[in-house]
Amino acid sequence: MAEKNYYSVDPMGKLMCAQCKKTLVKGKAMFSYMGNAFPVELPVCPECGFVYVPEDLAMGKVLTVERSLEDK
Amino acid sequence: MEKKESFLVGKHYLMKQAFGQDELHEREAMCTRTDPPPCTAACPLGIDMRSVCDYVARGNYSKAAGIIRMSTPFLYTLSRNCGGECENRCTLARLGDSVRLRALERACAMYGGSGAVSRFMLPRKQKKTAVIGDGLFALACCWELGKKGYEVSWHTACESLMEPLLRLGIPEEEAKADLAALQNLRILRKEESSLSIEMLEKVSEEADAVCISPYPGLVCRKENCFSGRKEKGVAELLASAKRTALLADCFLQGAGTPPEEENRESRLFVTMDGVEGSESLLDPAYVTKEGAAAEAARCIQCQCLECIKGCVYLQHYKRNPRAAIREIYNNLSIVMGNHMANGLINACDECGQCKAACPNGFDYPDVCRIARHTMVETKKMPPSAHEFALLDQQFSNGEAFLARKQPGFEKCRYVFFPGCQASAVSPDTVEAAYRDLSTRLEGGVGLILGCCGAISEWAAREDLLADAEERFRSAWEEMGRPAVICACPTCRKIFDRYFEAETVGIWEILLNLGVVPSEGRTAAVHDACGARGDKKTQEEVRSLMRALGYQVAEAPFSGDLSPCCGFGGLVRYANPQMAREKADFAAGRADGMIVTYCMACKDQFARTGAGTRHILELVYGTGDGTVPDLSRRRKNRLELKQKLLREIWKEDMYMETMLPVHYAQGAMEEMEDRMILKSDVDAVLRAYEESGAAVFDQEHDWLVTSHRLGNVTFWVKFRKEETGYLIFGAYSHRMTVE
Whether the predicted pLDDT of B723 surpasses 60: yes
Is the torsion defined by CA of A41, A43, A45, A50 positive or negative?
A: negative
**Domains of chain A, first to last:** 1-72 (3.10.20.860)
Q: How confident is the model at residue B284 (pLDDT cuts 50, 70, 90)?
A: confident
Q: Are B494 and B406 in a shared domain?
A: yes
Among the candidates B641, B675, B702, a domain finishes at: B641
As beta bridge partners, residue A36 has: A33
Which CATH number fits the domain that encloses residue B676? 3.30.2310
Query: Is pLDDT of B14 > 70?
Result: no
- Structure confidence at residue B215 (pLDDT): 80
Looking at chain B, which residue has its C-alpha nearest residue A25?
A: B695
Residues B491 and B634 placed together within one structural domain of the fold? yes
Can you tell me the mean pLDDT for B376-405? 95
Put simply, the answer to whether A58 touches B698 (Cβ < 8 Å) is no
In the predicted structure, residue B121 carries a pLDDT above the cut 80: no
Whether B164 is covered by a domain: the verdict is yes
pLDDT at A2 over 50: no
Over range B712-730, report the average pLDDT: 96
Q: Do residues B427 and B339 share a domain?
A: no
Q: Give the DSSP letter string of B562-583.
A: PPP-S-GGGHHHH-HHHHHHHH
Residue B207: pLDDT over 60: yes
- Contact state of B735 with A50 under an 8 Å Cβ cutoff: no
Q: Mean pLDDT across the stretch B690-701?
A: 94
Kindly tell me if the per-residue pLDDT of B206 is higher than 80. Answer: yes
B706 Cα to chain A: minimum distance (Å): 9
Please state the rounded mean pLDDT for residues B280-301: 93
Residue B263 — pLDDT band, cuts 50, 70, 90? low
Q: What distance in Å separates residue B734's CA from the closest CA in chain A?
A: 7
Instruction: Give the sign of the dihedral formed by CA B431, CA B434, CA B437, CA B442.
Output: negative
What's the whole-number mean pLDDT along residues B676-695? 96
* Residues B612, B674 within the same domain: no
Distance (Å, rounded) from C-alpha A18 to C-alpha A7? Answer: 21
With beta carbons less than 8 A apart as the criterion, state whether B348 and B571 touch. Answer: yes
Kindly determine whether residue A63 and residue B733, on different chains, have CB atoms separated by under 8 Å.
yes
At B191, is the pLDDT very low, low, confident or very high (cuts 50, 70, 90)? confident
By the 8 A CB rule, do B149 and B124 touch?
Answer: yes
Strands A25-33 and A15-17: unpaired
Q: What is the pLDDT of residues B53-112, one digit of tens each?
A: 999 999 999 999 999 999 999 999 999 999 999 999 999 999 999 999 999 999 999 999
Q: What's residue A3's pLDDT?
A: 47
Range with lowest mean pLDDT among B209-223, B354-368, B531-545: B209-223
In a domain, B168, yes or no: yes
Better pLDDT: B38 or B115? B38
Q: Which residues of B touch A32 (CB under 8 A)?
A: 735-738
Is residue B346 within 8 Å of residue B371, measured between CB atoms? no
User: Is residue B172 helix, strand or coil?
Assistant: helix
Measured in degrees and rounded to the nearest 5, phi and psi for residue B490 equal: -70, -40
Could you tell me if residue B311 is inside a domain?
yes
> Residue B709 pairs with which residues in a beta bridge?
B712
Name the least confident of A50-64, B1-15, B678-692.
B1-15
Same domain, B601 and B687: no
pLDDT at residue B662, as a whole number: 96
Q: Of the candidates B731, B732, B737, which has its C-beta nearest A31's C-beta?
A: B737
**Domain identity same for B498 and B411:** yes
With 70 as the cut, is the pLDDT of residue B375 above it? yes
- Mean pLDDT over B184-210 rounds to 88
With cut-offs at 50, 70 and 90, classify the pLDDT of residue B255: confident
Residue B111 lies in a domain: yes
B448 and B364 housed in the same domain:
no
Same domain, B244 and B351: no
Please give the C-alpha separations between residue B185 and each of B125, B145, B181, B652, in angstroms, as whole numbers.
12, 9, 8, 95
∠ CA B698-A57-B382, rounded to 5°: 145
At residue B552 the predicted structure's pLDDT band, cuts being 50, 70 and 90, is very high
Are B738 and A67 within 8 A, CB to CB? no
Residue B616 lies in a domain: yes
The CATH number covering residue B439 comes to 3.40.50
- Cα–Cα dist B530/B138, whole Å: 63
The answer to whether residues B281 and B326 belong to one domain is no
Q: Which residues contact B323 (CB under 8 A, 6 or more apart)?
A: none
Best mean pLDDT range from B19-28, B221-230, B502-511: B502-511
Of B364, B381, B398, the one marking the end of a domain is B381
The domain total for chain B is: 6
Does residue B374 share a domain with residue B443?
Answer: no
Which residues of chain B are at the A interface, by a Cβ-Cβ cutoff of 8 Å? 336-340, 342-343, 382-385, 674, 692-699, 703-706, 713, 715, 717, 729, 731-738
What gap in Å lies between CA B573 and CA B551, rounded to an integer?
Answer: 35
Report the range out of B168-182, B190-204, B392-406 with the highest average pLDDT: B392-406
Give the structural domain span for B231. 128-253
Mean pLDDT score across all residues of chain B:
92
Task: Note whether B24 and B92 are same-domain residues.
Answer: no
Is residue B19 in some structural domain? yes
Residue B25 has what pLDDT? 94
**B128-160: pLDDT as tens digits:** 999 999 899 999 999 999 999 999 999 998 889
Domain boundary among B350, B381, B412: B381
What whole-number distance in Å separates Cα of residue B124 and Cα of residue B458?
A: 57
Nearest to B535 by CA among B509, B497, B505, B496: B505
Q: What is the dihedral of CA B215, B217, B222, B225, to 10 degrees?
A: 10
**One domain, residues B160 and B219:** yes
Q: Evaluate whether residue B43 is within a structural domain.
A: yes
* E strands, chain A, in order: 15-17, 25-33, 36-44
Q: Answer whether residue B489 is part of any domain.
A: yes
- Cβ contact, residue pair B736, A32, below 8 Å: yes
- Give the DSSP letter of residue B400: T
Q: What does the pLDDT read at residue B219?
A: 80
